[in-house]
Amino acid sequence: MRLSKREINDQSDLHFKSNYGKDSRKSNWNTSFVLDFKSAYDSIHREKLLCAMSEFVIPSKLRRLVKTTMTNVQCSVKFRSHLSEPIPTTRGVKQGDALACLLFNIALEKVIRDSGIQTRGTIFFKAVQILAYPDDIDLMARTTPGLNEAFLNLEKSARNKGLIINQ
């Protein structure tokens, strides 16, 4: 799915949902849009992740341990019992690592906070609601323009951290 000019309301193939089974294109009460990040765990800027950890007042000892696990990381590919030359990796978190989900959640929390979307309360008392689960985000809004604004703010914040929204 391609978002031309990043306008959500112009796309006929987007998946819109609404409360009480109403078609949100006919009712402006509540629209939502599900976002998925492209290669989410592989694309996070490590330095920005460490800055977010510092901003969230995570103890310096833990930050140093995480930095140590992400410094001078190399990987190799095994194909037919032959191991390739080491390939340095400078972005992302190690998938399968016990800390990977936690580190991605820290990065996602920073993206959401920087987007300016209010996270307190429910859609009944505000214009935009956000729900996040591993590498997916569900944006809900009372109006399509509100959804557009929230999407653009979230996309800008995500790009700043190295995350790209799937097209």
First to last CA, the chain: 5
> Given this model, what pLDDT does residue 58 score?
93
DSSP string, 134-167: TTEEEEEESSHHHHHHHHHHHHHHHHHTT-EE--
pLDDT in tens, 95-142: 778 888 888 889 988 988 998 887 777 777 777 888 877 777 888 888
User: How many CA atoms, within 13 angstroms, populate the side-chain half-sphere of residue 20?
Assistant: 6
90: CB partners within 8 A, 6+ apart: 46, 73
As a whole number of angstroms, the distance between CA 89 and CA 47 comes to: 13
Per-residue pLDDT averaged across 56-66, rounded?
93
Compute the CA torsion angle 47, 50, 52, 53 (nearest 10 deg). Answer: 180
For the record, the structure tokens of 68 come out as 């140590």
